[in-house]
Chain A
Amino acid sequence: MLNSSSPDAEGSALARIVLPAFGALSLLAVWQFLLPWLGVPKFIVPTPAQVVLRIAADPYLLWQNLLPTLIESVCGLFIGNIAAILLAIAFVYSKTVERAYFPVVLFLNTIPVLAIAPIIILIFGIGIFPKIIIASIICFFPTLVNMTRGLDAVSANERELMHVLSASPLEIFWKLRAPRSLPFLFASLRISSTACVVGAIVGEWIGANKGLGALIIQSTFNYRSDLLYAAIILSSSLAVVIFIIVTTIERRVIRYQ
C-alpha cells in the first residue's frame, strides 16, 4: 500500500498538475451540464461558460472594480503586518507591555470583523482608507501572536554565544532574533495573504461604490448572477496570486529548511 502510492506522492507531474486539473475540470463539466438539465434558471446559478463569457464581455468593468480591492488588500497586508511586528517587538522586549496590552488585543480580536467594519466606515467614511484599515485589522492578530513567539524562539546557547561575542542588543536583534522569527512570520503571512482580501471585500460590502465587494452586492441585488460569479472568481484569484507571491518570497528567503 505505502510503497505503491509513494512514487505518485513524491511529486511526479501526474500527481502535481494533471490530477488536480482533472479534478477541477470534471467538477466544472458536471456544473456546466447538470444545471440546465435540472432546470436551474441562469439568474440563480449561471453555468461556467456564462461566467467566462461575462468576464470576456466586460473586462474593463471587472478591472475597474478589481483595482481598488487589490490596493486595499495589499496596503492592508503591509500595514497590518508591520504594526503587528512592531508590537511584537515591544512585547518581546518588555513583558510589562505584553502583560498590559495582550489581553486587550485578544479581546479586540474576538470582535467579528463584520461588527468592526461598520464602526470603521462610520469613522472614516466611504473610500479606500477605511477598507485598508479593515484589511490590516484582519492581518494583525496572527502575525502578532506568531512574531511574539518567533522573536523569542532563541535557545539558551544561542543567547550565551552572543554574550561571549559581546554582541550589542541591536546586533542580537538583527543577527539572531529577527532571522529566527522569519519562519514564524511567513507562517502568518500565508494566513494574512488570503485574509486581507476578505477584509477588503467585507469593508466594501458595508459601504463602497467601487471594488469587488461592492460589485458582489450590486450584482446580487440585480440578479446578475454571471457578474456575481465573475466577481467571486476574481477575488479568489486575487487572494491566490498574493498567496503565491508570499510563498515564492518565502522559498527565496528561507533556504535552510
Chain B
Amino acid sequence: MTTGLPPSPEVVSTTDLKPLAIRARGLDVGYPAKGGVNVVLTGLDLEVREGEFLTIIGPSGCGKSTLLRVVADLLSPAAGSLEVFGDTPAAARRRRDIGFVFQDSTLLPWRTVMENLRLPDEVGRKARAGRPAAEGPDAAELLRMIGLAGRENAYPHQLSGGQRQRVAIARALLSRPRILLMDEPFGALDEITRDRLNDELLGLWQSMRMTILFVTHSVMEAAYLGDRVAILASNPGRLRELEDIRAAKAAAAGPIREDPGFVRSMAHLRAVLRTC
C-alpha cells in the first residue's frame, strides 16, 4: 500500500521533537485571601513543545486563566516552577516571547485599528532593548490576513465583536511572539462567527507556527483547535487529563466537526469533564 513513503505527518508529529516551550513542575498558584491563601492551582506538571496548539478546558474555578497568567508573568507561582523556553516568565515577557489575547478585545477605544496595532511598538522599548527585530508579516499584511484591509482608520466601536477580536489577535501576533496565550478569546461571540474565527486562527497558526495555549469553555472548540486538550478539575484546580486528539482529526474523512471519530473524542472529553 503506502510502504516506502514517509509516515504521514499528521500521525507522527514533528512537534514531539521540538524544544520545550513551557515546562511546569509541581506548580502551585494561590491568591492571598482572608485567613490564608486561596489555592487556585495545585501540583501541576505540564510540558508544551514549541509549535504545539494546546487547548485548556475545565469547570469554572479550575485555574485555566490562572495558568495563562502565570505563563504571562501576571501571577507568580506559590510553589514549584514554570519555565518558558528554559527561562523565567518575566524574562520571556521582556523578550516579547509572549502575546496575550483577552476575552474582551481590550482595544484602546481612542485609537484606530492601525493605532491599536502600533501600541506594542510604542511601549516596552526599554525592556526590549537588544532584542532583534521580529520577522514576519507587518501590520498591513496582518490586516489583510484577518480580512480587515481598508479598516485601518476605523475606531473599535465601529467594528463588530468578531472584527475587534481579530484586531486583538493581530496586535498580539505583530511582535511575533513565540507563545500566544488566549483566554476565552471567542467566548462572547455567536457560534457562526466563532467557527469562522476558529478556522482563521488555525490558518494563522499553520502559517506562523507559534505555540498556542487556548482557554475555552467549549468542548467543540477545545477539540477542534487543539493538538492536545488539557482538562483541569476544580477545588482545587489541578490537571485531570491530557488528551492527544491529533490522530482522531487526522483520520477524519470529511469536515472534521461532523466526523464520527471526532464526535467520539468529544464525547470522551465531555465524560471526563463531568467528573471534574
Residues of chain A whose beta carbon lies under 8 Å from any beta carbon of chain B = 155, 157-158, 160-168, 171-172, 175-176, 179, 182, 254-257
CB <8 Å contact, A161 and B106: yes
Which 5 pairs from chain A and chain B are nearest by CB? Answer: A166-B127, A166-B124, A167-B123, A171-B123, A157-B106
- Docked Cα-Cα span, A256 to B158, in Å, equals 9
**In the complex, which residues 128-182 of chain B have their Cβ closer than 8 Å to any Cβ of chain A?**
128, 155-157
- Docked Cα-Cα span, A175 to B125, in Å, equals 13
Interface of A is mostly: helix
Closest to A172 in B: B123
- Docked Cα-Cα span, A167 to B73, in Å, equals 13
CB <8 Å contact, B124 and A160: no
CB <8 Å contact, B124 and A165: yes
CB <8 Å contact, B102 and A175: no
CB <8 Å contact, B110 and A179: yes
Determine how close the nearest CB of chain B comes to the CB of A170; give it in whole angstroms.
10
Determine how close the nearest CB of chain A comes to the CB of B84; give it in whole angstroms.
12
Closest to A162 in B: B123
Determine how close the nearest CB of chain B comes to the CB of A92; give it in whole angstroms.
18
Specify which chain B residues have a CB less than 8 angstroms from the CB of A168 in the assembled complex.
123-124, 126-127
Closest to B122 in A: A175
CB <8 Å contact, B123 and A256: no
- B267: CB under 8 A from chain A? no
Specify which chain B residues have a CB less than 8 angstroms from the CB of A163 in the assembled complex.
72-74, 93
- B94: CB under 8 A from chain A? yes
CB <8 Å contact, B74 and A256: no
Determine how close the nearest CB of chain B comes to the CB of A230; give it in whole angstroms.
43
CB <8 Å contact, A155 and B106: yes
9 further A-B contacts with Cβ under 8 Å, apart from A161-B100, A165-B96, are A155-B106, A160-B74, A164-B72, A164-B93, A166-B127, A172-B123, A179-B110, A256-B109, A257-B109
- B247: CB under 8 A from chain A? no
- B237: CB under 8 A from chain A? no
Q: List 28 A-B contacts (CB under 8 A).
A: A158-B106, A158-B108, A160-B72, A160-B74, A160-B100, A161-B100, A161-B102, A163-B74, A163-B93, A164-B73, A164-B98, A164-B99, A164-B100, A165-B119, A166-B123, A166-B124, A166-B126, A166-B127, A167-B124, A168-B124, A168-B126, A171-B123, A179-B108, A255-B110, A255-B155, A256-B109, A256-B157, A257-B109
Specify which chain A residues have a CB less than 8 angstroms from the CB of B93 in the assembled complex.
163-164, 166
Closest to B94 in A: A166
CB <8 Å contact, B155 and A166: no
Specify which chain B residues have a CB less than 8 angstroms from the CB of A176 in the assembled complex.
108
- B104: CB under 8 A from chain A? yes
Q: Which of B69, B110, B128 contacts A166 (CB 8 A)?
A: B128
Most-contacted residue by chain B among A158, A162, A166 (CB, 10 A): A166
Binary interface encoding of chain B residues 62-85 relative to chain A, with 1 for a CB under 8 A from any of its CBs, else 0: 000000010011100000000000
Specify which chain B residues have a CB less than 8 angstroms from the CB of A155 in the assembled complex.
104, 106
CB <8 Å contact, B155 and A164: no
Most-contacted residue by chain B among A161, A172, A256 (CB, 10 A): A161
Determine how close the nearest CB of chain A comes to the CB of B113; give it in whole angstroms.
12
Given contacts A255-B155, A256-B157, contact A165 B120 (CB under 8 A): yes
Specify which chain A residues have a CB less than 8 angstroms from the CB of B110 in the assembled complex.
179, 182, 254-256
Closest to A160 in B: B74
Specify which chain B residues have a CB less than 8 angstroms from the CB of A257 in the assembled complex.
109, 157
- Docked Cα-Cα span, A166 to B120, in Å, equals 9
Specify which chain B residues have a CB less than 8 angstroms from the CB of A182 in the assembled complex.
110
Specify which chain B residues have a CB less than 8 angstroms from the CB of A172 in the assembled complex.
123
Specify which chain A residues have a CB less than 8 angstroms from the CB of B74 in the assembled complex.
160, 163-164
Determine how close the nearest CB of chain A comes to the CB of B94; give it in whole angstroms.
5
- Docked Cα-Cα span, A255 to B111, in Å, equals 9
Specify which chain B residues have a CB less than 8 angstroms from the CB of A171 in the assembled complex.
122-124
Specify which chain A residues have a CB less than 8 angstroms from the CB of B123 in the assembled complex.
162, 165-168, 171-172, 175
Specify which chain A residues have a CB less than 8 angstroms from the CB of B98 in the assembled complex.
164
- Docked Cα-Cα span, A165 to B123, in Å, equals 7
Specify which chain B residues have a CB less than 8 angstroms from the CB of A165 in the assembled complex.
96, 119-120, 123-124
Closest to B95 in A: A166
Closest to B90 in A: A166
